[in-house]
Amino acid sequence: MVQYKSDLLIDTYLDWYKKKITVKELENAEQIITPYVNHINDRISIFIEFLDNDNIRLSDDGITFDELDLMSLNINTETRKKLIADTLLKYSLTLDNGIISTVAENINEFPQKKHNLIQAILSIYDLLMTNRTNVKGIFKEEALTFFFENDFGGNAGVKFTGESGIDYLIDYSLGATTKRPNTIIKLQNNVEFANVTEQVFIAQDLKNEPTLKNKGLRYVMVIGNQKIPDRVAQAASYSDIEIIRFEEKAELLALK
């Protein structure tokens, strides 16, 4: 097997990301078409408006909730309303007339704000996974319940700051002990190549952060019970990201 250094993987990811991004000039804004895709494999767009005092407004222009409406998803159930509200709060976003948005006060804030907006849009699209009859539970809730009931003793929704200064909201984390390094867990019901390449950057950014680096960092993606595509497994293996399917309970318990 060919061995790659993480720096090369990150450079390759950033090169891929730049090549995949398209920017379109609109009348009063710019449209950035990202490499990330939604439920119908359309690439997700964000819209940029340059305001006074160097402020930059980022939004989805209402596309996310329009798409959910086209899929006949009822977002007005109590559970879904709470999930949406929690997601907006988690990423410091606002919702007005169906438009998800945020404002960067200067260009230095733009990377974090863009990251937050994309993560929120992807999370809200995940609501489509709840649009089934007799849904037993939402994947993240099931996973967090499993961790709690099996005394993992970790924390959900923790913010970590990488070496770059960018903040990341982590689904679940276990602190370092004499028997294990710091362990970060990303919960992802359906995993695609783009999901892994994004996590490569996040994992490396966190692994280089001095506080986490001191006691080591284990980065794990816990996914739904889908078959892991070869390309996804290869990308994860090259970058020291572990992938565990949710049905593999013995492997999950071994994380403790």
**What pLDDT shows up at residue 1?**
54
Beta bridge partner(s), residue 169 = 159
- 8 Å CB contact between 184 and 241: no
**What pLDDT shows up at residue 130?**
60
**What pLDDT shows up at residue 200?**
86
Please list, in sequence order, all residues whose beta carbon lies within 8 angstroms of the beta carbon of residue 87, skipping any fewer than 6 positions away: 93, 120, 123, 124
* CA 57 to centroid of chain Cα atoms: 21
User: Could you report the average pLDDT of every consecutive run of 10 residues in the chain (256 residues)?
Assistant: 69 84 91 90 93 92 92 81 91 96 94 94 83 52 89 92 90 93 90 83 88 90 85 83 92 94
Q: Which of 179, 181, 183, 192 is nearest to 227 (CA)?
A: 192
What φ, ψ does residue 127 adopt, rounded to 5°? Answer: -60, -25
- 8 Å CB contact between 126 and 134: no
**What pLDDT shows up at residue 229?**
84
* Residue 130 DSSP symbol: G
Q: Is the pTM of this model over 0.85?
A: no
**What pLDDT shows up at residue 136?**
36
Beta bridge partner(s), residue 186 = 221
What count of residues does the chain have? 256
Q: How far apart are CA 196 and CA 29, in angstroms?
A: 30
| Residue 192, SS3 per DSSP | coil
The helix-helix angle for 110-125 and 63-70 (nearest 10°) equals 10
The CA radius of gyration of the chain, in Å to the nearest whole number, is 19
